[in-house]
Structures are given as C-alpha cells and as structure tokens.
Structure 1
C-alpha cells in the first residue's frame, strides 16, 4: 500500500496533532482532583458535581460540533475551535488558581475542548476515505496508537513537573499543547488540497443521514457496554491493587504504565489485521479476551501476577480502543463528523454508568467483584456487536428448495 506525498504529509501532521491531543489529556487527568480538592479547597461532593456537569456539557457540545462539522467548508474549523477552547480553559486555571476559575473553566470552557479528539479522527477518516475505506480504518488505528503513546511518555514528565514546581504548571503544559495542536491544524489548512468538504447527498441519502439504522444502534449499545467495562476497570483495579492485593500507589503506576506500553504494539497489529478480518469479529473476539483477562485478574492475590497478565490485557484493550472508533464512525452514513462525536458521547455515558455500577457494587462487595462484573459486561457488549452483523442473517430462514428426487411424487 503506497501513499502519495500529500497523504504522507497529512498523515505526519495528523500524527503530531494526535500526539499533542494525547498530551492534553494525559498531563492533567491524574491531577484534576488533587488540584481541586487539595490546593483549591473544594469539597469532594462539589468536585463530583463539577466533573459530572463538565461531562454532560462536553457530550452535548461534541454532538453539536459533530453536526456542524459535516456542513462546514472545512471540517477542521471545529477542531481548531476546540484547540482554542482548551488553551483558554486550562490557561485560565493556571493563571487565576482559584475555585471560581476552576469551576467556570471546567464546566463551560474545557468541555468544548473534548471534541478535539473526535474531530481530528473525523477529519482523518474523511481524508483517507478518498483513497479507500480500508486505508481509512488503518489510518485511524495507527493514529490511535500515537495517541496512546502520549499516555506512556507524558505522565512521568507531568509528574516530575508537578513535584519540582506545582501541579498548576501541569495545566500550563496542557494549554501549550492545545496551542501547538491548533498551530498544526492551521498549518494543514493552508494547503487547500487537503480540505475535505461534505459531498452533496441525494434526498434518500439525506434521509439515511439523519439517523442510524436500528441494527447499528444496537451495535453502538454493545460498544457502550464494552466502554462501561473499561471505565469500571479503570476505577476498580487501582483499588484492588492497593486494598486487596497489598500493593502500593507505586504499583498502581507501574500497572498503568505497563498496560499502556502493551497496548501500543498490539494497536499496530490490529490495524493491519483489520484489513483482513471484519471489524465485528475483532470486536467480539476481544470482548471475550477482555472478559477472560478480567475473570482471571479478579482471582489473583499478588500484584506481580497481575503484571504478568498485562500482555493479554494489552491485546484485548488495543483492539477495543481502536477498532471501535472505526465502527462508530460508520454509524451514520455520510456523516463522519456527527458519527465521530458519538465517541465522546458514548465515553461520557460509559463513565456515568460505570460510576453508578461501581458505587453500588463497592457498597455491598469487594472491589474485585466489580472486576468480574466488568468482564461479563465486556463479553455481553461484544456479543451485541456480533449479533448486529450476523443476527439478522441467522433469523432469516432460507426458502425451501424441493428435492429433485421427489419431483415425480407431486
């Protein structure tokens, strides 16, 4: 598969933009609660409300941005606006360093920056679809691996910066990353040949673009279930390590870093296997693999045994973090921007549902029970995706074909 020079140039710039997008998320995510509660004096319940409001506003804005990005002369304008919002919001927290600035920025400004991730992917898919849908899936998977790489590289750097200076300086790091990402987008927009304009749709196509077919909606429900499982694991596993395996906070960091490091090479592997294996099969198989990993992990008693199990975790998570993006982007025909916004919406819904499940389970059982439940939810989600592809065919009975040996009996 040979890429043209413009495709190589755009691919390189998109890789830089996705890495910077990963920097914006990976640098502040571990320190948000610390800054709000320990340094600004917010109460735990108030912080929870602020985060919940931020998630809901972010999901709403992501849907709005996705809707309009499919109608703009250049869909990168929405990604550029998201980068600007991120710079302003996180810059405000760094400069003012008070509860009011944190609340306003987190609830009203930084949610608009959430769309940078999905809109960059929307542009990448739309651009590479001009060269064939298979190449688009491969490009999306490769870019997701670049995003994941930032989660390996950035947290140690952000932790060092927070330790030697101040956690607020991490917000400056994030704001600068948004500025740099915006600069990359502007640089790409200078080349008019790389603009992807929405194609003119017929009346029938326009009707199809308004909604996703019922089977696809059921498939998206499966993606939601698997995302809930991943969010629930992200909440419960650190607590299992510390409270039930006798590990330390350092072990949590080692677990997270090793898991992310295992995901990147497998993302590249699944990107190429996706050229030969249907997406629904990949998602279903890795839903089962994630279930297997979580069921085994829930019965472990040592951190070392859990660390040895991370290649299996990385294999499954790599597919579910990449292939599900391509699946979601095809949800609404001809509306890659709006479909891509579903990535953010499903992520927010999964976080809220995962928090509810964790709250109920942790109140009545050990944290490792939540891990077991996550495995069941992941398998159920994979099955739902598989049934959207093959279920209708299985339900349709083939017409009766008369046996020619009995033709004379009629």
Structure 2
C-alpha cells in the first residue's frame, strides 16, 4: 500500500483530503447502515414516509451541492464551503441527539444533513487540484486511492458496531459517535484546509455566471450521461437501505449481522480499489463500469433472497469486486466531463446522486408495495445494469462532450 499512499504522505493537501475522507468514511460507516432501521423501528416512520424523506433529502442535497460547486468555481472559496458543510453535518447530528424526537429525525435527515452533501465532491475537488502539481501518470491512482480511503473505515468501524450491538446496545448509540466524527471533520477543516487564494496550485475563478454554469452542467450530452449513471449510484444506496431492513427482519439475524456484512464488504472492496490503477488506461472506463455493475447487481439482487442462508456471505465477493469499480470510475468519468472545473465536476456527482437517490426511493417504495424487499432489490439491480449499458452505448456513438 505504500505505492498508492505515497502521494498522500508527501503532500499536506492530499494528506488532509485523506484524513477528512477517513473521518467522513467513519461517519458514513456509523450512520448509513442503520438509518433506515432507525427511521422505521425507532422513530416510527412507515416505509412510504421514509421514502418521502429520502426524496426530499436528495433534492436538498443536490440543490445545495450544485449551487456550492458553482460558487466554488466562481469564487475559488473552497475552504468556506467545506466549513459550512461540516457545520451542517454536526448540527443535524446534534439536533437528533439532543431531542431524540421523530420530528427532529425528519427535519435533520430531510433538510439539515443534506446541506452537507457537497462534502464528498469537495474532497475530491481538493485532491484533484492538489494532484495537478504532481506527475500526470499519478493522478488517476490518487483519485482511486482516495475513494479507497473512504471505504477503509468500514473494515474497522462496522465490526466494532457488530460487537457493540451484540452486547445489547440501542441503535441510538450511533448518534453521539456520529456527532463526534462530524465535529472532528469541522475542526480539522478549520485548522488545515488551505486558505482561499493562497494555494500551491492554480485555482482560477471560472469566469462563468451562475446561469452559464447551469447551462454548461445542463447540456443534453452531459445530462444524458449523468442520468445513465444515476441508477448505478442508486444501486449502492438501495443496498444500504435494504441491508439493514432485510437483516433486522430475518429470524436469527440482527444489527450485528448488518455491521459484519457491511464491514466485510467494505474491507474486501479496499484492496480491489487499490489495484484498479494497475488496469485503468488499459481497459475502456465505460466497459469497466458495465462489468462492475453486473457483479454488483448479483450481490444486490441476491441479498434478500439469500439472507436466511449462510450463502448470503458469498455475495460479498462479487459485491466488493463490482463496488470497487462503480464507486470509483463513475466519479472520475464525471470529473473528466467538466475538465478544469472541479466544482462543476462535484456538481455532476451531486446530480448523479440525486438521480440515484430518486431511483432508489422510487424503486424501494414500488418494490416493497408490490412484493417486498426481494422485488425492490431486483428492480434496482436491473435498472443499474441498464444504465451502465446505456452509458457504454452512448460513448460508442459519440464524444461525451460533443
């Protein structure tokens, strides 16, 4: 691992992006697998009501992420945006923890926490800018390694939660830990995020008005590709939603199995992500996305079908192999569409997330209404494979920027 990690150890800005991504990954590993179960079993929301929360949250997240991404390119004020996002993350966690009320969960989950949605994209924007000072051959590996850093905490954090829940702890215990991680992110950003206008790399203002930036992002050729990648992201979100509900509803399984499964999957993903730079450039990125999505679809569709059996653990391998690709390559693809504007690239990642979250919410609501978690997972897997194939077909016919 010293090879992929060497740039992060040598460059302070890359080291900061990795440290913040590690904290954010720990936060996601603490909260994401349990949010759906908390919504339904602790705060008393129906499955349809939680689907509505997901839709509202996605709308707020993408609106803020696109707006903040455009502002970051217009004004080159990335530090201020990072601090705002970290503050919203801490505020949302603190509200739920201090009240423990269903209204606080809905308010924080639908409106406050989504305002921190630009964190992920802004960290990749920071690493992309910092990597611009390094040899060009290193840059794809830096982006893939940073995504692996996000997955790394799942190897450690989730097995710990498995032991904690096996000891009888309440699901609500995740909130004080989530708040501590959010405050850590905010503090580290305040202390070490490079001051705007004083970076080692060039970060010129885009020179585009807000309307011009929106027009660029909304170009039909760009939007078509973002929408094609939406179900790919949605399959990951659907996995997070289905995992907690399926395992807590399966006799003989519970929260400890959720933590163990997600932790093992994240742990196996990491070495595959670190190995990706060896094949990037040798294979077409779109073909890699299709192959990765097929593997991940096997994992997603099989999860509710095999949950009662020991064979469910065998799904971790195709899930990890596919996840290593679909969690890294679509982001790099979208960033490349926007060229030298990393904020706009982060906005495209947010649009992909909106499309994915909306598809996830709709698929979850429709599938569970008709036939349960099995149909929801199968529908999500099928849509994701179709989206990956559509992207491959579009890029066979035309230049993505044409």
TM range (shorter): 0.7 to 0.9
Inter-CA distance 186–160: structure 2 relative to 1 (3 Å threshold): same
Deviation at 1:345, TM superposition (A): 3.1
Q: Of 105, 116, 130, which aligns to 1:127? A: 130
Corresponding position: 1:14 with 2:20 = no
Q: Which residue of 2 aligns with 1:388?
A: 394
CA displacement 1:223-244 (0-9 Å, x = unmatched): 1122233333444466666778
Corresponding position: 1:313 with 2:319 = yes
Deviation at 1:368, TM superposition (A): 3.5
Q: Which residue of 2 aligns with 1:354?
A: 360
CA separation in 1, counterparts of 2:8 and 2:238?
A: 43
1:71-90 to 2 correspondences below 5 Å? 71-90=74-93
Q: Of 193, 207, 210, which aligns to 2:216? A: 210
Deviation at 1:83, TM superposition (A): 0.6
Deviation at 1:76, TM superposition (A): 2.8
Corresponding position: 1:173 with 2:143 = no
Deviation at 1:61, TM superposition (A): 1.0
1:20-39 to 2 correspondences below 5 Å? 20-32=23-35
CA separation in 1, counterparts of 2:381 and 2:97?
A: 39
Q: Which residue of 2 aligns with 1:339?
A: 345
Inter-CA distance 325–133: structure 2 relative to 1 (3 Å threshold): farther
**Structure 1 portions without partners, runs of 5+:** 394-410
Q: Which residue of 2 aligns with 1:399?
A: none
TM-score normalised by length of structure 1: 0.80
CA displacement 1:219-273 (0-9 Å, x = unmatched): 22221122233333444466666778x6622544433332222211111111332
Indicate conservation of the 8 Å contact 1:66/1:337, yes or no.
yes
CA separation in 2, counterparts of 1:351 and 1:391?
A: 28
CA separation in 2, counterparts of 1:291 and 1:36?
A: 26
Inter-CA distance 248–164: structure 2 relative to 1 (3 Å threshold): closer
Q: How many residues align?
A: 390
Aligned alpha-carbon RMSD (Å): 3.6
Indicate conservation of the 8 Å contact 1:331/1:339, yes or no.
yes
TM-score normalised by length of structure 2: 0.81
Larger Rg: 1
Inter-CA distance 285–178: structure 2 relative to 1 (3 Å threshold): same
CA displacement 1:81-120 (0-9 Å, x = unmatched): 1012212221232234334544443343222112212211
Q: Which residue of 2 aligns with 1:147?
A: 150
SS of the equivalent of 2:134 reads: coil
Deviation at 1:335, TM superposition (A): 2.3
Q: Which residue of 2 aligns with 1:322?
A: 328
Corresponding position: 1:137 with 2:109 = no
Q: Of 253, 257, 277, which aligns to 1:248? A: 253
CA displacement 1:286-314 (0-9 Å, x = unmatched): 22333455677787686322312421221
Corresponding position: 1:67 with 2:70 = yes
1:200-279 to 2 correspondences below 5 Å? 210-211=216-217, 214-236=220-242, 248-249=253-254, 250-279=256-285
Indicate conservation of the 8 Å contact 1:230/1:374, yes or no.
no
CA separation in 2, counterparts of 1:30 and 1:59?
A: 21
Indicate conservation of the 8 Å contact 1:127/1:196, yes or no.
no
Q: Of 55, 59, 69, which aligns to 1:56? A: 59
CA separation in 2, counterparts of 1:121 and 1:208?
A: 20
SS of the equivalent of 1:333 reads: coil
CA displacement 1:1-41 (0-9 Å, x = unmatched): 89779853322221110011112222233444565566566
